[in-house]
Structure 1
Amino acid sequence: MGAWGFQAFENDDALDWLEDLEAGGSDIVRQSLNAVADGYIEAPDGSVAVAAAEITAAAQGNPHGDFPEDVATWVTAHGAELTAEDAQLALTAVERVGGEESELAELWDEADEPEWKDSLDDLSERLRAALG
């Protein structure tokens, strides 16, 4: 796992995905959230889904506050394209990535990093707040 921290954009998979985000807009966010809808979730897909969920939360007015500059710029330019329906999709994705059928959850559990799970809980709460 090419990660140097537990936050959404502190891994190679999420940062590489940002290039796709610039090219594809909100559809890329939705595709990334849908990629973890069922089955076992591989770590790269999980990392990207968490990043997409963070962008969705920010677009709904509940940002983490510690974004790479290009992410904040994207949210300002395109965030209005993401809806409450996308926030629900993101919430489901975060719950799945943090669950039992997730390689990423297994890796962070093995690393004994409870902060990762805490960051997912925080993200889930921000997404729930967007849903009212």
Structure 2
Amino acid sequence: MGAWGFQAFENDDALDWLEELEAGGAEVVRQGLTAVADGYIEAPDGSVAVAAAEITAAAQGNPHGDLPEEVATWVTAHGSALTAEDAQLALEAVERVAGDKSELAELWDEADEPEWKESLDNLSERLREALT
């Protein structure tokens, strides 16, 4: 796993995906979230889904305090296209990535990094707040 930290944008897969995000709109975020809808979730798809969920939370007014500049810029320019339905989709994606059918969850468990799970709990809470 090409990760140097447990936050959503501290891994190669999420940063590579940001290039796609720059070229596309809200549909790229939705694709990132729906890629983890079924079956076993491979680590790259899980990393992208978490990044997409962070963008969705930010677009709903609940950003993480440490968003990369290019993400904050994208949210300012395009975030209004992400709706409460997208926030629900993001919440479901985060729950699946944190679950027992997720390679990413297995890798972070093996690395004994409880901060990763705590960061997902925080993200889930920010998404729930967007839904109320």
Question: What secondary structure does 2:8 align onto?
Answer: coil
Aligned to 1:3: 3
| Pairs aligned (count) | 132
What are the superposed Cα offsets for residues 69-111 of structure 1, whole Å, 9 maximum, x if unpaired? 0000000000000000000000000000000000000000000
**Structure 1: distance between partners of 2:66 and 2:53:** 14
Aligned to 2:102: 102
Aligned to 2:24: 24
Task: Report the TM-score when normalising by structure 2.
Answer: 0.99
Aligned to 1:91: 91
Matching of residues 51-70 of structure 1 within 5 Å: 51-70=51-70
Identity %: 86
Task: Report the TM-score when normalising by structure 1.
Answer: 0.99
**Structure 2: distance between partners of 1:33 and 1:47:** 10
**Structure 2: distance between partners of 1:34 and 1:47:** 13
Aligned to 2:114: 114
**Structure 2: distance between partners of 1:126 and 1:38:** 24
Aligned residue type for 2:8: A
Uncovered stretches (5+) of structure 2, i.e. residues with no partner: none
**Structure 2: distance between partners of 1:32 and 1:69:** 20
**Structure 2: distance between partners of 1:67 and 1:11:** 13
Aligned residue type for 2:2: G
**Structure 1: distance between partners of 2:87 and 2:25:** 16
Aligned residue type for 1:114: P
What are the superposed Cα offsets for residues 11-65 of structure 1, whole Å, 9 maximum, x if unpaired? 0000000000011110000001000011000000000000000000000000002
**CA RMSD of superposed structures (Å):** 0.3
Aligned to 1:130: 130
**Structure 1: distance between partners of 2:65 and 2:36:** 25
**Structure 1: distance between partners of 2:55 and 2:107:** 23
